[in-house]
Structure 1
Amino acid sequence: MPTDSPQPAFVLVRPQMGENIGAAARAMWNFGLDRMRLVAPRDGWPNPKSVAMASGAGRLLDEATLHGDLADAVGDCSYVFATTARQRGLTKPVFSPERAMALAAEKIAAGEKVAVLFGPERAGLENEDVARANAIISVPVNPEFASLNLAQCVLLTAYEWRRQVSEVQHEVTEMGRADWASTLEVEKLSEHYEERLQQAGFFFPPEKAENMKINLRNLWSRMRLTRADVQMLHGVMRQMVRWKERGD
């Protein structure tokens, strides 16, 4: 059964290859989308070639609805986007995928039904298809090579939908089994190094010593150290001192 999450319907208009339908299903499910509608697939439906490419997203293919024409596929929707990379000579708002999916999220949250149209692989949507849409989604691609694979276009749009409806961590550090060192632990490390370097005569000449110590403390605070890092650096200094004492 489809998930209960509010989402747009992705409508593949006259898709040609079963493999691309399967790849589009996989791309949709990567980002939590499972409402696929198919309009007059060239090779009929169901298509066994789509199953292998779906790679775990076969449920979407089982639940995809089949429609004879575009009017039937989007008849229950109040807002429709058409994806295209070509100028169409039609007066319509044109959105980036990011802005389009933000608008889709707003409309769906308000109770509307939204669809996104994707054209056949050979030449994309026809002007007659685009004319049925309320707005265009245009991907900022290389103008000298603007053609996108069907599944690629689906993936780009699905990714932007996911960004709008879930919190995306734009940067994260994998900690493994480590914990960040506390300020006190870093302070003790700094004191340990400062003490040993003082004994070694590192802070020279005397008039520069205070500034050198400040720079060293700034180095420790600028580095994001784990507790394991701190323990290792303590061990490095202790071993260096032992080595020096053995050498004496």
Structure 2
Amino acid sequence: MTDDTPTFLPPAIVLVRPQMGENIGAAARGMLNFGLDHLRLVAPRDGWPNPAAGAMASGAGRVLDRAGVFEDTAGALADCTRVYATTARARGLTKRVVTPEQAMREAHAAALKGERAAILFGPERTGLENDDIARAEAIVSIPVNPDFASLNLSQAVNLLAYEWRRAADAPVAERLELAGAEPASGIELEKLADHWEERLETANFFFPPDKAAGMKLVLRNFLSRAGMTRSDVQMLHGVMRAMVRWKERG
């Protein structure tokens, strides 16, 4: 008799272009305090490994030792089925905005089903850019004092990690019935967006040229927030292929 219980996959904490090793180390320490140990780094400014991170981790060195390092955000999200962007601004993108508590409840529900969620944090000085946020299905908004909204990177990570710990002890209030389907992964969504961009570029959809970059960003943002399954992605690939074939026949 086989055990069909999915592997429990806690979320990945993804630090995008972090600048200070001390903040990486403090983030790792906070993660382990609340039961998280899956850290991913996207293009850390001072390279990796970073001695300053190890000094600040204070006993959480194992989190740093196992940290994954990626060249870009897309690579760091390739196996993730739910992505949340921690940012104070939507920057003109249409997104669902959730509290840290809600985000980690959803991440915990995903973990129970064997899915990996990712929580994105931007660099200390500038925060996440639109290209990063567009790959998320939702924005996490931390309710801070509007008169002093500046939050240190490691503090933000600690807040989300704390909510993860709370969510792990709470019942799941809502679930999505997928009817046997599996959620689309980051790499599947990335390839779908690339396919649509390529075909729409050929069809001169992105016009005028000075608006093309913004239109592509809106397209990618739409695809990432739709909450698609693998079968949804396959269908949309098929839709585009069918339209191309129909145009060629004409």
| TM-score where L is the length of structure 2 | 0.64
Quick one: distance in 2 between partners of 1:66 and 1:110? Answer: 26
Q: Does structure 2 conserve the Cα–Cα contact (< 8 Å) formed by 1:80 and 1:133?
A: yes
Deviation at 1:5, TM superposition (A): 5.3
Which of 122, 129, 138 is the equivalent residue of 1:126? 129
Deviation at 1:89, TM superposition (A): 1.4
1:36 aligns with 2:43: no
Aligned to 1:90: 93
Q: Does structure 2 conserve the Cα–Cα contact (< 8 Å) formed by 1:19 and 1:49?
A: yes
What is the DSSP-based 3-state SS (H/G/I as helix, E as strand, rest coil) of the residue aligned with 1:37? strand
* Offset from partner CA, 1:186-219 (integer Å, 9 cap, x none): xxxxxxxxxxxxxxxxxxxxxxxxxxxxxxxxxx
- Tell me the matched-pair count: 164
- Percent of aligned pairs with the same amino acid: 66
Which of 61, 70, 90 is the equivalent residue of 1:67? 70
**Runs of 4+ in structure 1 displaced over 2 angstroms?**
none
Q: Does structure 1 conserve the Cα–Cα contact (< 8 Å) formed by 2:9 and 2:115?
A: no
Which of 144, 149, 156 is the equivalent residue of 1:146? 149
Deviation at 1:58, TM superposition (A): 0.6
What is the DSSP-based 3-state SS (H/G/I as helix, E as strand, rest coil) of the residue aligned with 1:129? helix
Quick one: distance in 2 between partners of 1:110 and 1:56? Answer: 30
Quick one: distance in 2 between partners of 1:138 and 1:112? Answer: 23
* Offset from partner CA, 1:122-157 (integer Å, 9 cap, x none): 011011110111111000111122121000000000
Aligned to 1:101: 104
Deviation at 1:111, TM superposition (A): 2.4
What is the DSSP-based 3-state SS (H/G/I as helix, E as strand, rest coil) of the residue aligned with 2:80? coil
- What do you get for the CA RMSD once the two structures are aligned? 1.2
Q: Which of the two has higher C-alpha Rg?
A: 1
Quick one: distance in 1 between partners of 2:64 and 2:136? Answer: 24
Aligned to 2:182: none
Where do 5+ consecutive residues of structure 1 fail to align? 168-248
What is the DSSP-based 3-state SS (H/G/I as helix, E as strand, rest coil) of the residue aligned with 2:154? helix
The residue identity in structure 2 corresponding to 1:89 is: G
What is the DSSP-based 3-state SS (H/G/I as helix, E as strand, rest coil) of the residue aligned with 2:146? coil
Q: Does structure 1 conserve the Cα–Cα contact (< 8 Å) formed by 2:8 and 2:114?
A: no
Where do 5+ consecutive residues of structure 2 fail to align? 1-6, 171-250
1:110 aligns with 2:113: yes
Quick one: distance in 2 between partners of 1:8 and 1:117? Answer: 10
| TM-score where L is the length of structure 1 | 0.64
Which of the pair has the greater relative contact order for Cα pairs under 8 Å at 6+ separation? Answer: 2
Deviation at 1:120, TM superposition (A): 0.5
Quick one: distance in 1 between partners of 2:165 and 2:9? Answer: 12
Deviation at 1:87, TM superposition (A): 3.6
Aligned to 2:236: none
Aligned to 1:76: 79
Aligned to 2:60: 57
Quick one: distance in 1 between partners of 2:147 and 2:126? Answer: 15
Aligned to 1:18: 21
Q: Does structure 1 conserve the Cα–Cα contact (< 8 Å) formed by 2:8 and 2:112?
A: no
